A and B are shown apart, each in its own frame.
Chain A
Amino acid sequence: MRIPCPLCGERALEEFTYLGDATVKRPAAEETDPKAWYDFVYLRDNPRGPHRELWHHLHGCRAWLEVERDTLTHEVFDSRLARERGTEAK
């Protein structure tokens, strides 16, 4: 599995570390409903197929990336800088 970094090009898996599901949304800081925090911290869709996830190009340019990857085949469809995410509805 190789991951295309928008800044460095396609790089080996060893250069990256994994954070997890990129679709979970952190509740606003003033959110007091424990359910909302439980959802954010613990619950995941865990799809068998395309999955949007956060990777860190730690041993490269150190950019955070949002990658779309198939969890069944390990095919990587798309990768972009995490700071540019949220430009379309998800």
Chain B
Amino acid sequence: MAADAVAGLANQAIVTDGMRYSLFNLIGQTMRGHRGWPRAWRDPDPKAGYDVVIVGAGGHGLATAYYLAKEHGITNVAVLEKGYLGGGNVGRNTTIVRSNYELPGNEPFYEHSLKLWEGLSQDINYNVMFSQRGVLNLAHSDGQVDAFARRGNGMRLHGADAVLLTREEVRERVPALDLDNARFPVRGGLLQPRAGTARHDAVAWGLARAADSLGVDIIQNCEVTGIARENGRVTGVETTRGHIKAGKVGLAVAGHTTKLAEMAGLRLPVESHLLQAFVTEAIKPMVDQVVTFAAGHFYISQSDHGGLVFGSSLDGYNSYAARGNMPAVEHTIEAAMSLMPSVGRLRLLRHWGGVMDMSMDGSPIISKTPVEGLYLNGGWCYGGFKATPGSGWCFAHTIARDEPHALNAPLSLERFESGHLLDEESTGPFPNTH
């Protein structure tokens, strides 16, 4: 009976009352046994049409809708989601936030995103548990130390923060590291103190609540099956819940971007690949930062719950399976053991795979497309989470003004054709090498 009551409640279109979360409200609700909390967002049926339809209620889609309403006053917006809100890659990542890129086309964008992260909890009145615990990249050779010095200088020239650490300074900060691994000894590191982690689900929920309170309709269980066009212009989308008219359509479906773009007749410089991630059982505080082991793409941090969260390279072949194979698991565990031999005593608690939109140069796309009224946000490779607010902010600008902001102009779809690639790792047009 209780289950029926809950289902009945969910089916009603209960309007949230725009309650701000505060200590005062928390005390008031505590006195009333927590029975008076309103829904965090509505569950509306789709209207016949919207000014803007965003496909994908993940972090980027919800952030886009939020900034469309907040920065551009466009509130007649729907966010369509084929599954449930936050059920894609925003709920399947390792929660790292950083802006330690080198290229002029990337670093200003990621630094803008990091600045938005710094005020996000206050801005959307929802605690996303953004923790600026620092991201430390380890260097294993003198050449790598020099490369990190160059990267750190590049970051600082763009207004980000970066500190080059000696081997002893690394040892003081992360005592659990084996600095004398025979093959990959640690020579030093590059620390970005303002980088860190955030609670990924809270990011999706907080942005959903904030967008909803500004009038955005978030429509779940609504899969887009076609993109309607007339004379080369987008007129709406076909969905499992009927046709929805739209003045503009924005795609934010990283992992499946090419499938959606195909509905509008576009082929993209993107392949879908597989990345696995791991969480151990919870232990007492051991790793205070995010630490990356540059020799193996390996990265590790510790969640507030105590589990070590880590991952490394892609499996390396095209895949939509969202589950991986053993060679990548072995590679990751070997990197973990090389870097921190003590983790060998731990048991794995969870392990999962996600579908990554790997672009041909390893950098994302926030862009207009050759189809008028259709906008593209994708190609996030395995770095989409950190970009969530910046991506939404830039994508909202691109959709509202029909032109990119200076921050995302270099992230255009045309850059592949014009040769203005943003290939941070200089590995060429092979998505599995980025």
Partners in one complex: yes
Is A20 interfacial (CB 8 A cutoff)? yes
Please indicate the chain B residues that have their CB under 8 angstroms from the CB of A12 in the complex.
Answer: 327
Q: A18-B432, A20-B432 are in contact. Are A42 and B320 (CB under 8 A)?
A: no
Task: Decide if the interface of chain B is mainly helix, strand, loop or mixed.
Answer: mixed
Q: Knowing A71-B319, A72-B320, A74-B319 touch, does A43 contact B268 (C-beta < 8 A)?
A: yes
A64 CB to closest chain B CB (Å) equals 15
Which residue on chain A has the smallest CB distance to residue B322? A72
Q: Across the A-B interface, how many residue pairs have beta carbons closer than 8 Å?
A: 67
Q: For residue A69, give the distance in angstroms from its CB to the closest CB of chain B.
A: 8
- On chain A, the residues within 8 Å of B259 by CB distance are 46, 48
Within the assembled complex, what's the spacing in Å between the Cα atoms of A39 and B188? 42
Q: Is the CB of A38 within 8 A of B417?
A: yes
Q: What CA separation (Å) do A34 and B417 show in the bound complex? A: 8
CA distance A61 to B272 in the complex (A): 28
* CB <8 Å contact, A74 and B270: no
Task: Give B269's nearest chain A residue, CB to CB.
Answer: A42
What's the nearest-Cβ distance from chain A to residue B130, in Å? Answer: 33
The reply to whether the CB of B325 lies closer than 8 angstroms to some CB of chain A is: yes
User: With A13-B327, A44-B258, A74-B325 in contact, is A53–B269 under 8 Å at CB?
Assistant: no
The answer to whether A73 has its CB under 8 Å from any CB of chain B is yes
In the complex, what residue of chain B is closest to A35 when comparing beta carbons? B417
User: Are the CB atoms of B321 and A74 closer together than 8 Å?
Assistant: yes
Q: Cβ of A30 < 8 Å from any Cβ of B?
A: no
Q: Does A51 sit at the interface, judged by CB under 8 A? A: yes
Interface mask (A1-37 → B, CB under 8 Å = 1, otherwise 0) = 1000000000011100111110000000000001100
Chain B residues with CB under 8 Å of A48's CB are 256, 259, 272, 320
Q: B327: shortest Cβ distance to chain A, in Å?
A: 5
Given known pairs A41-B429, A46-B258, A48-B320, the reply for A20 and B271 (CB within 8 Å) is yes
* Chain A contacts for B271, CB-based, 8 A: 20-21, 44, 46
Q: Does A88 sit at the interface, judged by CB under 8 A? A: no
Is there a chain B Cβ closer than 8 Å to A84's Cβ? no
User: Is B316 at the interface (CB under 8 A from chain A)?
Assistant: yes
B interface size (C-beta, 8 A): 25
Q: Which of B318, B325, B417 gathers the greatest number of chain A CB atoms within 10 Å? A: B318
Residues in B neighbouring A42, C-beta threshold 8 A: 269, 360, 416-417, 429
Residues of B within 8 Å of A21, CB to CB, are 271, 318
Question: Which residues in chain B, 390-425, are within 8 Å of chain A measured between CB atoms?
Answer: 416-417
Q: Bound state CA distance, A12 and B321, in angstroms? A: 19
**A18 contact from B317, B321, B360, B429, Cβ within 8 A:** B317
Contacts A38-B416, A38-B417, A42-B360; is A73 near B321 (CB within 8 Å)? yes
Q: Whole-angstrom distance between the alpha carbons of A53 and B51 in the complex?
A: 41
Contacts of B269 in A (CB 8 A): 42-44
Nearest residue (CB) in B for A51 is: B318
Q: Are B321 and A72 in contact (CB under 8 A)?
A: yes
Interchain CB contact under 8 A, B272 and A45: no
Between-chain CB contacts (< 8 Å), 23 pairs = A12-B327, A13-B326, A18-B317, A20-B271, A34-B417, A35-B417, A43-B268, A44-B267, A44-B268, A44-B269, A44-B270, A44-B271, A45-B258, A45-B267, A46-B258, A46-B259, A46-B268, A48-B272, A53-B317, A53-B318, A72-B319, A74-B319, A74-B325
Further 16 A-B residue pairs, CB within 8 A, beyond A13-B327, A42-B360: A1-B325, A20-B431, A20-B432, A21-B271, A21-B318, A35-B417, A42-B417, A43-B269, A44-B258, A44-B271, A46-B268, A46-B270, A46-B272, A48-B320, A51-B318, A72-B319
Question: Closest 4 A-B residue pairs measured CB to CB?
Answer: A42-B269, A46-B258, A43-B267, A18-B317
Chain B residues in the interface with A (C-beta under 8 A) = 256, 258-259, 267-272, 316-321, 325-327, 360, 416-417, 429-432
